[in-house]
Amino acid sequence: MMDENRKTELLAVFSGYLDKLDSESLEPDGQTDLFSLLAELSALRTEVKTEARQFGNVSSQLKEAQELLHTSHVQLEKELEQSRLNLAATRRAVLRSLLVELLDFYDRLSAGQAALNNYRPIKGWFSFKSLRQDRNFIQSIREGQAMTLRRLEETLARHQVRPLETLGRPVDPHTMKVVELDHRSDLENGVVTAELRKGFQWGEETLRLAEVKANKL
C-alpha cells in the first residue's frame, strides 16, 4: 500500500498540473508565438517584394509605351510636314504649268492686237460705206481683244507674274536669252536693243526667259 507521504506528493503534482492547465485555457484565443510571427513577417516581406516587382514591371511598360507614343508622334509630325511640302511643291508645279500656258495665250493675243492696231483698209476695194463699216468692225474687234488682253494681264498680276524689263539694259543670262545680234556703235556692247519675246518673273523665279536682240561691237 502507498504511504501517506507518497499520496500527498502525487496530489500536489496533480494539483499543479491542473493549475497550469487552467492558466493556459484562460489565455486569449489566436495568440501567436514568436515562430508564427516570424513566418508571417517573412511571407509579408515576400508578398511586398512580389508586388514591388510587379509595380516595377508595370512602370517599365508604361515608360516604354510613353517613349513609343512620343516616337510615333514625332514621326507622324515629320510625315505630315513632308506631306505638306510635297503638296505645296505639287501645287506650285501645276500652277507654273498653267501660267506658262497663259503666257503663250498672252503672246497670241498681243500679236493679234498688234496686227489690229496696224491694220489699214485698202482704198479702192470697197465703197466709202464699206470702208466705214470695215473700220467699225475692226475697231470693235480691236477693243474686245484689248479688253481680253487687259484681263489676262490682271490675272497674271494676281499670281505675282510681271513682265521683265529688258530694253536698254545689259544682257542678264538669268532672265534673258539672246537670239539675234545688233551692231550699233552708239550703244555699249551687250546692251539689249530689241525685245523679240517678252519674259516674265514669277515672284522670285524667272517664269520665262525674255528673247532679246543684243548689241555686239
pLDDT digits (tens, 9 = 90+) for 29-40: 555 567 777 777
Compute the distance between CA of residue 136 and CA of residue 110 in angstroms, rounded to an integer. 20
Decide if 162 contacts 129 (C-beta within 8 A): no
Last residue of a domain, one of 159, 191, 209: 159
- Shared domain for 176 and 138, answered yes or no, is no
Compute the distance between CA of residue 183 and CA of residue 68 in angstroms, rounded to an integer. 72
Q: List 176's β-bridge partners, or say none.
A: 210
Q: How confident is the model at residue 217 (pLDDT cuts 50, 70, 90)?
A: confident
- Shared domain for 209 and 155, answered yes or no, is no
Average pLDDT of the residues in 63-69: 84
Q: Does 47 map to a domain?
A: no
Q: Does 7 map to a domain?
A: no
Decide if 96 contacts 207 (C-beta within 8 A): yes
- Mean pLDDT (the chain, rounded): 82
- Shared domain for 147 and 76, answered yes or no, is yes
Question: Mean pLDDT lowest for which of 45-59, 70-84, 142-156?
Answer: 45-59
- Shared domain for 147 and 180, answered yes or no, is no
Residue type, 16: G
* pLDDT-above-70 percentage for the chain: 80
Decide if 149 contacts 110 (C-beta within 8 A): yes
- Shared domain for 78 and 144, answered yes or no, is yes
Q: How confident is the model at residue 212 (pLDDT cuts 50, 70, 90)?
A: very high
Q: Does 77 map to a domain?
A: yes
Q: How confident is the model at residue 121 (pLDDT cuts 50, 70, 90)?
A: low
Q: Which residue has the cell 556692247?
A: 189
- Shared domain for 136 and 62, answered yes or no, is yes
Q: How confident is the model at residue 26 (pLDDT cuts 50, 70, 90)?
A: very low
Last residue of a domain, one of 126, 143, 159: 159
The three grid cell numbers given for residue 94, joined into one nine-digit string: 501645276
Q: Does 25 map to a domain?
A: no
Closest to 213 in 3D by CA, of 200, 197, 204: 197
Strand order across the beta sheet in which 205-208 lies = 161-163, 200-202, 205-208
Q: How confident is the model at residue 188 (pLDDT cuts 50, 70, 90)?
A: very high
Q: Does 14 map to a domain?
A: no
Compute the distance between CA of residue 2 and CA of residue 34 in angstroms, rounded to an integer. 44
The three grid cell numbers given for residue 71, joined into one nine-digit string: 516616337
Q: Residue 131: is its pLDDT beyond 80? A: no
- Shared domain for 58 and 147, answered yes or no, is yes
Q: Residue 1: is its pLDDT beyond 80? A: no
Q: Does 107 map to a domain?
A: yes
C-beta atoms surrounding 97 within 10 Å: 10
Q: Residue 73: is its pLDDT beyond 80? A: yes
pLDDT of residue 7: 62
Q: Does 6 map to a domain?
A: no
| Domain carrying residue 146 | 52-159
- Shared domain for 75 and 153, answered yes or no, is yes
Q: Does 74 map to a domain?
A: yes
Count of domains forming the chain? 2
- Shared domain for 58 and 102, answered yes or no, is yes
- Shared domain for 65 and 76, answered yes or no, is yes
Q: Enter the pTM of the model.
A: 0.60
Last residue of a domain, one of 159, 188, 207: 159
Cα-only R_g, the chain: 54
Q: How confident is the model at residue 69 (pLDDT cuts 50, 70, 90)?
A: confident
pLDDT of residue 164: 95
- Shared domain for 170 and 214, answered yes or no, is yes
- Shared domain for 81 and 126, answered yes or no, is yes
